[in-house]
Chain A
Amino acid sequence: MANEIKITAPLDDAAVAKLKAGDQVSITGVIYTARDTAHKRLVDALDAGQPLPFDMNGQVIYYVGPSPAKPGKVIGSAGPTTSYRMDLYAERLMEKGMKGMIGKGMRDKKVIEAMRKHKCVYFAAIGGAAALIARSIKAVEIIAYEDLGPEAVRRMEVEDFKAVVINDIYGNDLYDIGKAQYRVAK
């Protein structure tokens, strides 16, 4: 991509502040996976005053439940899952320092507002481009909730993981911007 911005995960406030809705990014570094049931467990742990299975500070959480790795591979196909199902839990994790979320699909207004408040950015990866995305995942380790199978929390090392900024910390939303640009007026 022509205007691609290279970023390193985990993220800090300065890196987050530079990102704008519509920016194409290439992410390299360490990210963590969590989806539906893992989010419930993370928030249940917070409610119970227990420590999280990893330090949330600066982390980018990828909403994904990968398919199993074939022999000789580090992971199977691994595209994003739909993000709104994590809306209920997102702000709790932002309060613990989460700086990025990768998924696909629209977020609730409350989440977008929380992103502004806690300086957290929302990226989309291409939903369904899972065989291709898997190539940017170089190492994977299950670090919590192994019993959840595809929903277990994984630590991933990624290189040149392609994504686009949907919601920045300034309240912009690429889904709204893109739609307005191509809508045929009625």
Chain B
Amino acid sequence: MFVEKTLDFFGRFGDNNSFKSNDFNEFWGLILRTIHSDAITAVVKKMVMGANFDLGDDVILAFEKGLKREASPVGRAVLGTLIENARIAHDEQVPICQDTGMAVFFIEMGQEVHIEGALLQDAIDEGVRQGYQDGYLRKSICDPFTRKNTGDNTPAVMILDMVPGDTLKITAAPKGGGSENMSRLTMLAPSAGKRGIVDFVVKRCEEAGSNPCPPVIVGVGIGGSAEKCMILAKKALLRHVGEPSADPELAALEAEMLEKINALGMGPQGLGGTTYALAVHVEKHPCHIASLPLAVNICCHASRHKEAVL
């Protein structure tokens, strides 16, 4: 079988230049699955609109749970208003929040996937361009110095992980500027330990106060390098709201931080109450022997995510 293929391959290659990449891939025992960039653009367009119009059931459920527990009548009124707002956005297919975010994408690309057509970044940007235009979403991206708006909400931010398999998983996570501005990275000394981690995260929430539109979801990254740590914090926000970490040690840390943050009394919108955070999600990664990196990425209550697998 192997010999036959070899002959076939070299024969065709030598004869008439009809060599195709698939012949080559089969020859080496690699079966690559081809995905055209147009399919990526189409799905990105759909996801950025859907994420901005339809708040996830997990977030609504967290509002409802908060409503039952919230001690402050003003806090309960705020949570009720957010449920009503989400319903209007869904029914009218308009943005939950006017800040339809910087378009952030987490991509898990199977090693056996080959993308044909445009570059992956360009395919995603085109989907963002079309989705933000056709969906009447706000274009919020500008030059950092001149502040001139790019006009189409591009470029998107793409975080790419290679994974086994032959599928391409795309998670759209548009993120508003108000909550993103509350992010912090610190490089703790290893001696700070868990105590230092909890103190920093709770203090960060207290300083953020009403700015990031509470009730919030607090994403925490522990470990890695500086940039890896920040990505962990953001990735932690992708988890269903309130779903504890599979690691019991991290789940305990999440519960401790959630209790301490809510004990600050800031409540929904910072107007006073017991539901400032709906959840704390922690992700960890091994780090350097000299370091204990810690990142906080807070998400407002409009925690918007959509997933698609191609």
Q: Determine whether B264 belongs to the interface, using a CB cutoff of 8 Å to chain A.
A: yes
Interface residues of B in 147-163 (CB under 8 A from A): 147, 149, 151
- In the complex, A96 Cα to B209 Cα: how many Å? 30
- In the complex, A129 Cα to B136 Cα: how many Å? 17
Contact with B along A53-71 (1 / 0, CB 8 A): 0000000000011111110
Residue pairs across A and B with Cβ atoms less than 8 A apart, 20 shown, are A67-B136, A67-B137, A67-B138, A76-B136, A76-B138, A77-B95, A79-B97, A81-B99, A105-B178, A105-B209, A128-B85, A129-B82, A131-B88, A131-B89, A132-B81, A135-B88, A164-B74, A179-B270, A183-B263, A186-B263
Best-buried of B99, B149, B264, B267 by chain A (most CB within 10 Å): B99
Interface residues of B in 292-310 (CB under 8 A from A): 300-302
Q: Is the interface of B mostly helix, strand, loop or mixed?
A: loop
- Chain B: number of interface residues, binned into ranges: 35 or more
Question: What distance in Å separates the Cβ of B80 from its nearest Cβ neighbour in chain A?
Answer: 10
- In the complex, A184 Cα to B260 Cα: how many Å? 9
The 8 Å CB contact of B267, one of A78, A131, A178, is A178
Kindly list chain B residues whose C-beta atoms are within 8 Å of the C-beta of A130.
Answer: 85, 95-99
B273 engages A182 (CB within 8 Å): yes
Kindly list chain B residues whose C-beta atoms are within 8 Å of the C-beta of A134.
Answer: 94
Q: Determine whether B171 belongs to the interface, using a CB cutoff of 8 Å to chain A.
A: no
Interface residues of A in 61-112 (CB under 8 A from B): 64-70, 76-79, 81-82, 84, 104-106
Q: Determine whether B183 belongs to the interface, using a CB cutoff of 8 Å to chain A.
A: no
Interface residues of A in 140-169 (CB under 8 A from B): 148-151, 164
Kindly list chain B residues whose C-beta atoms are within 8 Å of the C-beta of A36.
Answer: 147
- In the complex, A68 Cα to B210 Cα: how many Å? 26
The 8 Å CB contact of A126, one of B99, B100, B267, B269, is B269
Interface residues of B in 259-300 (CB under 8 A from A): 263-267, 269-274, 300
B213 engages A128 (CB within 8 Å): yes
A66 engages B98 (CB within 8 Å): yes
Question: What distance in Å separates the Cβ of B275 from its nearest Cβ neighbour in chain A?
Answer: 10
B71 engages A106 (CB within 8 Å): no
**With A65-B138, A181-B272 as given contacts, are A104 and B265 in contact (CB-CB < 8 Å)?**
no
Beyond the given pairs A135-B88, A178-B265, 5 more chain A to chain B contacts, judged by CB atoms under 8 angstroms and listed by A's residue number, are A68-B138, A128-B301, A130-B95, A130-B97, A179-B270
Kindly list chain A residues whose C-beta atoms are within 8 Å of the C-beta of B302.
Answer: 128
B96 engages A182 (CB within 8 Å): no
- In the complex, A1 Cα to B301 Cα: how many Å? 23
Question: What distance in Å separates the Cβ of A109 from its nearest Cβ neighbour in chain B?
Answer: 14
Kindly list chain B residues whose C-beta atoms are within 8 Å of the C-beta of A127.
Answer: 97, 178, 210, 213, 269, 300
- In the complex, A36 Cα to B139 Cα: how many Å? 15
- In the complex, A184 Cα to B261 Cα: how many Å? 10
B139 engages A149 (CB within 8 Å): yes
- Chain A: number of interface residues, binned into ranges: 35 or more
Best-buried of A64, A78, A131 by chain B (most CB within 10 Å): A131
Query: Which of chain A's residues has its CB closest to B208's CB?
Result: A105
Q: Determine whether A177 belongs to the interface, using a CB cutoff of 8 Å to chain B.
A: yes
Query: Which of chain A's residues has its CB closest to B181's CB?
Result: A82
Query: Which of chain B's residues has its CB closest to A76's CB?
Result: B136
- In the complex, A7 Cα to B151 Cα: how many Å? 37
Query: Which of chain A's residues has its CB closest to B74's CB?
Result: A178
- In the complex, A172 Cα to B177 Cα: how many Å? 28
Query: Which of chain B's residues has its CB closest to A36's CB?
Result: B147
Kindly list chain B residues whose C-beta atoms are within 8 Å of the C-beta of A164.
Answer: 74, 271
**With A126-B81, A179-B265 as given contacts, are A148 and B149 in contact (CB-CB < 8 Å)?**
yes
Query: Which of chain A's residues has its CB closest to B182's CB?
Result: A82
The 8 Å CB contact of A106, one of B137, B139, B211, B301, is B211
Question: What distance in Å separates the Cβ of B201 from its nearest Cβ neighbour in chain A?
Answer: 16
Interface residues of B in 122-140 (CB under 8 A from A): 136-140
B151 engages A149 (CB within 8 Å): yes
The 8 Å CB contact of B136, one of A68, A124, A178, is A68
Q: Determine whether B78 belongs to the interface, using a CB cutoff of 8 Å to chain A.
A: yes
Interface residues of B in 72-130 (CB under 8 A from A): 72, 74, 77-78, 81-82, 84-85, 88-89, 92, 94-100
